[in-house]
Amino acid sequence: MEYQTQMEAAKKGIITKEMSIVAKKENMKEEKLRELIANGKVVIPANIHHKSLSPEGIGEGLKTKINVNLGISGDCPEYEKEMEKVKMANDYGVESIMDLSNYGKTHPFREKLIDFSKAMIGTVPMYDAIGYLEKELKEITAQDFLKVIEAHAKEGVDFMTIHAGINRRAIESFKSCERLTNIVSRGGSLIFAWMEMTGNENPFYEYYDEVLEILREYDVTISIGDALRPGSIHDSSDAAQIAELIEIGKLTKRAWERDVQVIVEGPGHMAINEIAANVTLEKRLCYGAPFYVLGPIVTDIAPGYDHITSAIGGAIAASYGADFLCYVTPAEHLRLPSVEDVREGIIASKIAAHAADIAKGVSNARDRDYKMSDARCRLDWEEMFSLAIDEKKAREYFESLPPTEKNSCSMCGKMCAMRTVNKTLKGEEVKFF
């Protein structure tokens, strides 16, 4: 039997090579994974042209995945620096990279990115539209926007954020809300401005069927963007956010009818006590589609430390069922992140994802922790370093102030609890002098 997309194959009972790879990675039976993909609860973003891809699954019962954002801007048009970030992300085993470049001709950079990266690649075509088309926003037509989507699909992009849910009904709800931060989604703000300037409906909503046909042809997963996500804890869970989510739920079903895989994007900034309800609501209104969250960032007053505020929210969201975390760096809200910012963002997100996997009982999630605990008990430093999420930093910290006592660290020395108890259990005398 022939098939066009992973979802179509799953519906026809076909196990694709990508499904087999993902099932092995996730320690899941192939048939169970196929059923989840057929029902839209798991996606494998895998463009037919992304030959270097190492497939990953996102969704119910799988390990929480993380995404790294990068890309050039008008203020920092340094492609080489962004490729350095790409290489770092691959070295750390990041499952996804989004190219958010919004300046100049981005095709050569993205072509190189797709050729090099084994991680899945995502884009936001709306960001690229002005530079790609060389037109002012108001002059861009609906068909122009579709051309950009097709160009990205042909290049090999595995998933695309498309803000199709911010239609006229959702905008009415937005205008009725007294938000502090209005629309903070870059793509959402551009679509809103285009709609207001032209008087037209959102082109991605109005021509949604045409969008789906393009995505289906190349097996691109649609990540339905939350244009009205809250940009402050004041604005979270308001009528605008929920109105758009209702529209996204309808769009999710329409995509599945065309055998297009769907990811649903979520907030944003949000107080801790609202996170669980928001995850439940997304899963309910969007029929269990994988949930992709930016953070959530749980407080607005920590610029320079938003990798921490985001990791807190991400761990909680994923423990309640979110499937995909977009990393946040210390540079969030301040500037384009440096290579070091990217590293810190990756580590914070990996910690959040792993902590959530432990909480929700993902298969084998605790194994590495148990091995670390055993190595700590035996005071085997080399094994501890090898099991650490950030081996380099752990080793640097230990070696920066080495202990005089071999089987300890410089914090406790000979009073190390592990040393004391290990000696005692062996029947050895514990001495300090």
* Residue 178 marked ligand-binding: no
Q: Give dist(CA 271, CA 113) in Å, integer.
A: 36
Q: Look at residue 74 and tell me whether its pLDDT is greater than 80.
A: no
Q: Is 98 annotated as a binding residue?
A: yes
Predicted confidence (pLDDT) at residue 134 exceeds the cutoff of 90 = no
User: Minimum mean pLDDT among 59-63, 132-136, 205-209, 278-282: which range?
Assistant: 132-136
Residue 75, annotated as binding a ligand: no
- Does residue 217 surpass a pLDDT of 80? yes
| 412 among annotated binding-site residues | yes
Q: What is the pLDDT of residue 104?
A: 63
**Mean pLDDT calculated for residue range 36-59:** 98
Q: Has 418 been labeled as part of a binding site?
A: no
**Average pLDDT over every residue of 288-308:** 98
* Residue 186 assigned to a binding site: yes
Q: Where are the beta strands (DSSP E) in 268-364?
A: 291-294, 324-326
- Band (272; pLDDT cuts 50, 70, 90): very high
pLDDT at 131: 81
Residue 163 annotated as lining a ligand binding site: yes
CB burial of residue 427 (10 Å; 0-12, 13-18, 19+): exposed
Looking at residue 76, its pLDDT comes to 58
For 287-316, what is the mean pLDDT? 98
Q: Are 177 and 240 in contact (CB under 8 A)?
A: yes
CA dist 396 and 149 (Å) reads 45
Does residue 177 have a known ligand-binding role? no
Q: Is 409 annotated as a binding residue?
A: yes
416 is in an annotated binding site: yes
Rounded CA-CA distance 122/265 in Å is: 13
Query: CATH 3.40.50.720: does it fit domain 6-359?
Result: no
pTM of the model: 0.95
CA distance 51 to 1: 22
Phi, psi of 34 (to 5 degrees): -60, -45
Any binding-site annotation on 265?
yes
Determine the residue type at 13. Answer: G
Q: What is the pLDDT of residue 107?
A: 83
Q: Tell me the average pLDDT across 256-274.
A: 97
pLDDT at 75 over 70: no
The residue extents of the domains of the chain are 6-359, 366-400, 404-433
229 is in an annotated binding site: yes
Is 187 flagged in the annotation as binding? yes
Where is pLDDT greater, at 104 or 249?
Answer: 249
Confidence of residue 407 (pLDDT cuts 50, 70, 90): confident
Residue 46 and residue 53 in contact, taking contact as beta carbons nearer than 8 Å: yes
Check whether 185 is labelled as a binding-site residue. Answer: yes
Q: Is 226 annotated as a binding residue?
A: yes
Tell me whether residue 247 is annotated as binding: no
| Residue 77 binned pLDDT confidence (cut-offs 50, 70, 90) | low
